[in-house]
Amino acid sequence: MKIGIGNDHSALELKAEIVEFLKEKGHEVVDYGTYTSESCDYPVYGEKVARAVVAGEVEKGILICGTGLGISLAANKVKGIRACVCSEPFTAKMSRAHNDCNVLAFGARVVGGELAKMIVDTWINTEFEGGRHQRRVDLLMEIEERN
Ligand code: RB5
């Protein structure tokens, strides 16, 4: 799978771990930055990855900031994005199975490297179940259209 990844300064080390993990699993990773530990603004990177997902440059996105909150909020402002903050594998699994989440977010100040890898692995390997969940996702996206 081709995956876009983005982060702010708080998540530089965890991002590197996740990129390595994804590559070991055979995925292609596009890194949208930030690339240094200099303090930066998470909305910039949340939007970059979100736009790449919507444009089809990458299939899915992964975003990491201190908490996962700010960067997911930024991604969710882009039409077509369903970004979910997941701090454990169960939520990560359900975000795919029921919500067809296309951008995963988590916090470098919340989860450690091993837990983050479990979250990523679960999320990437879970398919959307469709059926009644498709109707609900459609309703969700209609809110975007109306507002
Ligand atoms: C940066 O200090 C921090 O605010 C950011 O990484 C993130 O946690 C925001 O939601």
> 109-113 long-range contacts, Cβ below 8 Å, gap at least 24?
109/10, 109/66, 109/67, 110/66, 110/67, 110/68, 111/87, 113/14, 113/17
CA of 74 to the centre of ligand 1 (A): 12
What is residue 17's predicted lDDT score, i.e. its pLDDT?
98
Residues of the chain with pLDDT under 70: none
What is residue 32's predicted lDDT score, i.e. its pLDDT?
98
CA of 83 to the centre of ligand 1 (A): 16
Closest CA to 128 of 96, 91, 102: 96
CA of 37 to the centre of ligand 1 (A): 13
Strand order through the sheet with 2-7: 28-31, 2-7, 60-65, 103-107, 83-85
Note the pLDDT tens digit of each residue in 47-78: 999 999 999 999 999 999 999 999 999 999 99
CB 61 near ligand 1, within 6 Å: no
Binding residues: 8-9, 66-70, 99, 109, 132, 136
| Cα 5 → chain centroid | 7
CB 69 near ligand 1, within 6 Å: yes
Ligand 1 atom closest to the Cα of residue 8 is: 6
What is residue 43's predicted lDDT score, i.e. its pLDDT?
98
Q: Quote the pTM value.
A: 0.98
| Cα 112 → chain centroid | 16
Alpha-carbon distance 7 to 65, whole Å? 5
Kindly list the structural domains of the chain, giving each domain's residue range(s) and its CATH number in brackets, ordered by start. 2-146 (3.40.1400.10)
β-partners of residue 93 are: none
Contact between residue 116 and residue 106 where contact means Cβ atoms under 8 Å apart: yes
What is residue 97's predicted lDDT score, i.e. its pLDDT?
98
Q: How many residues does the chain have?
A: 147
Contact between residue 85 and residue 69 where contact means Cβ atoms under 8 Å apart: yes
What is residue 115's predicted lDDT score, i.e. its pLDDT?
99
How far are the Cα atoms of 48, 67, 105, 137 from residue 2, in angstroms, in the given order? 15, 24, 17, 23
